[in-house]
Amino acid sequence: MKWLVGMIVICAVMIALLIGIRPAGQDHPLKQVILSTPDAPQVTADAAPHTTPESPVAQRKPIAVAHKHTPEKLVFEEPAIANVKIADVVIATLPESRFRQELQKLTPLARRRAASTLQRIQPSQFELDELHAQSDGAIYYECHFDGAAAQLSMAAAVDTPGTGAAAVSVANPPVYHSNSGSSNVLFLDFNGGEVTGTAWNSDSYPTYYCRPYDRDGDETTFSDSEQSEIREIFARVAEDYAPFDVDVTTEEPVSFTRTTGHAMITPETDSLGVDLPHRFSGGIAYVDVFGDNNYVTTYSPAWVKVSGVKATAEAASHELGHNLGLGHDGDDRHGYYTGHGTGDEGWAPIMGAGYYKNIVQWSKGEYPNANNSQDDLAILASELSYFTDDHGNTADGSATVLNTGSNPAATGVIEQGDDVDVFQITTGQVIDVTVTVDPDGPNLNPQVEILDSSGTILVSDAPLGDLTANVLHLPVAPDTFYIRVDGVGALDLTSGFSDYASLGNYSITLMLSDDAAMETSVASTTITEGTTSSVVGVRFTDPLSRNLSVSVSLRGDSDLSLTTSSSLPFTTSNWNSYQYVTVRAAEDDDGYDGDATLTFRSAVSDDRTVALTEGDNDYAITMSASTGGTVTSSFGFSPGGGAVAITATPAAGYSFSGWTVTGSNATIDDLTAPDTTLTATGDDAVTATFTVIPDDDDDGGCGGCRTSDGNPSAIGMILLLGLVLACRNALHGKRQSSVNHVAWFDDVV
């Protein structure tokens, strides 16, 4: 009996350990789990011993990156949800899914951490396929952007190599900083490198050898055009994070700290051909890990797939947003909101899919049917803090005094919704005031007001959506006046945006008034796809008193692009000579004409615009077949002048007779061949004709009774023998089976 009692006691102890029995009245507070080097690990009862997290993408050949970093203690912070039961309630509210099952398998501490993250990012049911849980409770997004990124084909986005600055080695990419000296850094990594020892890695792939940003097939240098693209990607991301105290940079930090974000912008595979973690997505990143002590060593980098310039920049801001604690912005039907509105006023959220809209901003779910009310600005400010207000807000002694001899006279940042910047200028001359934002992905829609010394508004300008510049011509020149800059919205929330995230950089220039009208060489023009045009020009109709530049911008169909400089220089001597720009229409196969607007802008004239049309040269070919077969082709629309493959396939008992073209707009290489090519010069119809194979084998309808050389086949011989036996039986009155007939015939033989 003693052994039985002993076994019972042992079982009771084991059960107590499993269900967590503790003395009455004693709580079980969760302690921090601290892993230090060289200190020994400290692990609490609820926390599993720390091991290197398994790669969440190990089955898909994941990745990880390790750069130089300062050794420091790795700390798992106390999760916001302090009770595992509450965490389990949060997890239980999720629909049954692969992600929910991953969460339920976690340790109590890991479940609490995961549930805390879920409460913060507020995921919708449409995002569950993209969410993944790490063994320590960390969560990452695998972003597919509802196919939006895939639609921006890399081939279509490749720019023609430039002829300006010389190429540079990938080891020395162009260096840019948005806010040097900030302790918060977002590093845009364009030259690749080794990624090792992170949560992205696995035993099978302990190191990934990431390739550099490449658009021309040469991975050893950055060409002139690639350098230009890097600058634009940087400018777009820097503008998104301009309201905050953070340095967006392309220069690798000397050391990586827990407040150093890292976006690895690289192709889908590494230099050994191994799939990277973002192989099947536009980007992939852990959520709410910025500032964690193991951010650099475990959860970095965020991965961004190389695509078009705008797409790459949008993905970089988006994935770094995940690191900083942001979830997706979708609607009641989709995990990503692709935006609303058209043209200059088209708007989308950064944490949605902003690839096709002019204005892409942070959001708090104000748009129709938003599924996430997460306040992006508040969360980002909690991680980064706002940029220090750089100019006074009132027309008094706090206003910044401008010098009319400087160009620009001032630069500034609208950091928060209630921020306005006020400048003072004293002059006795008529002044033109121009407020400009960066044309590469501006977030700020600036309203500019000119006030006199009493605070009366003399003139105001707030363009709708077209954020590139505000030009104000003062009708009078008071001795002292004030310039007030504010960020405003446009239209309404169904077709535009509020002033919530109308924030960012601007510059002010002051010029002596020099009004002069401009005119364009054409009011509109059509450019056939696949060709270029250099017939769009602009000039002044009035003499200029000083040299200046006219800026050129193009907005509209993405197939139309400006291939020459976006700035045209004019002088006091060439003011009445046309300066031309070149516009390219890319080849496509969509069968539609695209349109865009070319805008010329100067500081001394109203804007001039030219309507552009992409002249589509794709032709619709209607394919059909007569009875007895089918047709297939390699196109829906035929590219103008291009050849496409067509195939006619006869059904059983039919043969292909030939092709028939209804009109004169299609030419078939061989009208008698079932597999041939077609070239179109316009819309047309093509028919494949099939005929029944005739019964001309002279065997009484017995298909297969003769061989190809006319001799009786095996089947024919058997039928012949049967006929002879039937005749013999008829003559002798016998009824013998077919087997006996054959046997009898064989006997005779």
Read off the tokens for 409. Answer: 């006279």
Beta bridge partners of 422: 484
Phi, psi of 146, rounded to the nearest 5 degrees: 50, 35
Q: Which of 430, 589, 419, 577 is nearest to 506 (CA)?
A: 419
- Per the CB < 8 A criterion, the answer to whether 377 and 243 are in contact is yes
**Pairing state of beta strands 608-615 and 524-528?**
parallel
**How far is Cα 263 from Cα 475, in angstroms, rounded to an integer?**
49
Residue 26, Cα to own-chain centre: how many angstroms? 52
Helix (H) / strand (E) element for 266: namely: strand 260-266
Residue pair 87/112 in contact by the 8 Å Cβ criterion = yes
Helix (H) or strand (E) holding 86: helix 84-92
Assigned token pair, 520? 């364009």
Helical spans, DSSP H, in 646-694: none
Q: CB burial class (10 A; 0-12, 13-18, 19+) of residue 404?
A: middle
- Rounded CA-CA distance 674/546 in Å is 70
Question: Reduced to 3 states, what is the DSSP secondary structure of residue 207?
Answer: strand
| CA distances from residue 16 to 13, 19, 110, 539 in whole angstroms, order as listed | 5, 5, 22, 88
Q: Exposed, middle or buried, 372 (CB in 10 Å: 0-12/13-18/19+)?
A: buried
C-beta of residue 440 within 8 angstroms of C-beta of residue 232: yes
Hey, what CATH class is 400-513 in?
mainly beta
Q: What is the DSSP letter of 175?
A: -
Look up residue 551 and give its two tokens.
Answer: 């800026």
pLDDT for 463: 60
What's residue 722's pLDDT?
59
Largest separation between any pair of C-alpha atoms in the chain: 138
Q: What is the spatial distance between Cα 604 and Cα 175, in angstroms, rounded to a whole number?
A: 34
In one-letter notation, the amino acid at residue 236 is R
Residue ranges per structural domain of the chain? 80-133, 141-147+164-327+372-384, 400-513, 518-615, 619-692
Under DSSP, is residue 571 helix (H, G, I), strand (E, B) or coil?
coil
| DSSP one-letter string for 329-379 | --BSS-SS---B--GGG-EEETTS--TT-SEEE--SS-STTBS----HHHH
One-letter amino acid at 536 equals V
The whole-model pTM stands at 0.61
DSSP for residue 497: B
Pairing of strands 185-189, 260-266: parallel
CATH architecture of 518-615: Sandwich (2.60)
Total residue length of the chain: 749
Q: What is the DSSP letter of 299?
A: I
Of 376, 391, 279, nearest to 324 by C-alpha is 376
Other CB atoms within a 10 A radius of the CB of residue 712 amount to: 14
pLDDT at 477: 55
CA atoms within 13 A of residue 710's CA, in its CB half-sphere = 2
d(CA 294, CA 724) in angstroms, rounded, equals 96
Using DSSP's 3-state secondary structure scheme, residue 542 falls into: coil
Instruction: Please tell me what DSSP assigns to residue 406.
Output: S
Determine the residue type at 720: L
Alpha-carbon span 267 to 69, nearest angstrom: 24
For tokens 């060489």, what's the residue? 521
Name the token pair of 87: 């965490």
User: Would you state the pLDDT for residue 60?
Assistant: 30
Kind plus residue range of the DSSP H or E element containing 189: strand 185-189
3-state helix, strand, coil in the chain (%, to 5): 20, 30, 50
Two tokens, residue 681: 């010069």
Contact residues for 86 (Cβ-Cβ < 8 A; gap 6+): 115
Q: Is 470 exposed, middle or buried (0-12, 13-18, 19+ CB in 10 A)?
A: buried
Q: Which of 421, 433, 321 is nearest to 377 (CA)?
A: 321
CA 22 from centroid of its chain's CA atoms: 52
How far is Cα 281 from Cα 209, in angstroms, rounded to an integer?
19
Q: At 265, is the secondary structure helix, strand, or coil?
A: strand
Q: How far apart are the first and last CA of the chain?
A: 97
174-215, pLDDT tens digit by residue?
A: 999 999 999 999 999 999 999 999 999 988 889 999 999 999
Containing 739, the helix (H) or strand (E) segment is helix 738-748
Query: What does each C-alpha distance from 698 to 701, 702, 711, 717, 728 come to in angstroms?
Result: 7, 8, 11, 15, 25
What is the token pair recorded at 673?
């061949």
What backbone torsions phi and psi does residue 726 show, to the nearest 5 degrees?
A: -60, -40
C-alpha neighbours within 13 Å on the C-beta side of residue 713: 11
Q: What is the DSSP letter of 499?
A: S
Angle between helices 224-240 and 309-323 (to 10 degrees): 40
Question: Which of 606, 647, 637, 372 is CA-nearest to residue 472?
Answer: 606
Instruction: Give the residue ranges of the chain where pLDDT is below 50.
Output: 1-76, 146-164, 465, 638, 700-701, 708, 727, 730-731, 733-749
Q: Which of 345, 343, 359 is nearest to 556 (CA)?
A: 343
Distance, CA of 351 to CA of 337 (rounded, Å): 8
Query: Are 400-513 and 518-615 the same fold in CATH?
Result: no
Report CA 30 to chain centroid distance, whole Å: 41
